[in-house]
Amino acid sequence: MLFLVRMDVNIPRDLPADEANEIKAREKAYSQDLQRDGRWKSIWRVVGEYANYSIFDVSSNDEMHQLLQGLPLFPFMKIDVTPLAAHPSAIA
């Protein structure tokens, strides 16, 4: 199942810098592991924002939910998830 996911990050300004940096390092490692195993297919920055659009390829809605909840930055994110389906006019 393919999903388009927008993630907007809002780390509180009063979070100590060392704590924020540690969370971001864990986030990077977690996301790169998912990219290596093929579930996080691609990721793009949104210009001028602390946000991204990503494509995930997972087996179920539940798996998608679990992966997102596992993100170290999850508590500081607004996430929009859109399930995708093949378009009949797409050239395969």
Q: What is the pLDDT of residues 4-17, one digit of tens each?
A: 999 999 999 999 99
Average pLDDT on 46-65 reads 98
Q: Give the pLDDT confidence score for residue 69 in this predicted structure.
A: 98
Please give the share of the chain, as a percent, with pLDDT higher than 90: 99
Phi first, then psi: give them for residue 20, nearest 5 degrees.
-60, -45
Q: Is 17 left (phi over 0), alpha (psi -120 to 50) or beta?
A: alpha
92 vs 22: CA distance, rounded Å: 42
Q: Give the pLDDT confidence score for residue 92 in this predicted structure.
A: 78
Q: Give the pLDDT confidence score for residue 40 in this predicted structure.
A: 98
Q: Which helix (H) or strand (E) is 54 found in, with range?
A: strand 51-57
Please give the share of the chain, as a percent, with pLDDT higher than 70: 100
